[in-house]
Amino acid sequence: MSVPLQKLLMPWQSRDVLTNSASMVGGPVVQAADALALATPAELLAAYGLGEDRFGAEPEFVDVVRFDLVPLMELARSTSADAPWPTYSTGFLRSEHMIQVWSLGHTRFSPGAELWRIHADGSQEAVAVYLSAAQGWSGATSYTPPNTLVGPCATWQGADYAADFADPEGS
């Protein structure tokens, strides 16, 4: 049984998903059920320690992707590394809610991942669905094949292809 995760996207990441069907993901993630306590862009950005420099003053919306953790994905404890972006040395977001955060190793989204737009009034709308490495995002305006050097791949007739993890039992 998989644990649904949520990734807050930077504005450029949202554009890349919706215009080029970008499939790569990595960085801070939380359990999707825990993140429901953060219902508005302002609450999400405050919890992640992000501000106007990346999202502008009082953004009308932010985008998140909710996706299943599959066996080939790697999660690690968030660290206090010296980085030019917020880090989470306590292992939790900066919120009154206890929301644990992990660092997801660079990989591809799992099939069925959903891009959700969270509006300032707290309403949410589904925007796109990641179908597979071969098909990309359903709501994207174009498709760029994924890089076979990131995420799972398979070799067929001597060539490497981006692949998705599939449970042989179909569960």
Per-residue pLDDT of the chain (171 residues; tens, 9 = 90+): 578 999 999 999 999 999 999 999 999 999 999 999 999 999 999 999 887 778 888 899 999 999 999 888 889 887 666 665 677 878 899 999 999 999 998 888 999 999 999 999 999 999 999 999 889 999 899 988 876 566 666 677 877 666 666 666 655
pLDDT at residue 78, rounded to an integer: 73
Q: Give the type of residue at 150.
A: V
Q: Give the type of residue at 158.
A: G
pLDDT at residue 101, rounded to an integer: 94
Helices (H), the chain: 11-20, 32-35, 41-48, 52-55
Q: β-pairing, 4-8 with 61-68?
A: antiparallel
Query: 162: Cβ–Cβ under 8 A, 6 or more apart, which residues?
Result: 23, 108, 133, 134, 145, 146, 147, 148, 151, 152, 153
pLDDT at residue 153, rounded to an integer: 62
pLDDT at residue 81, rounded to an integer: 66
pLDDT at residue 139, rounded to an integer: 86
pLDDT at residue 104, rounded to an integer: 92
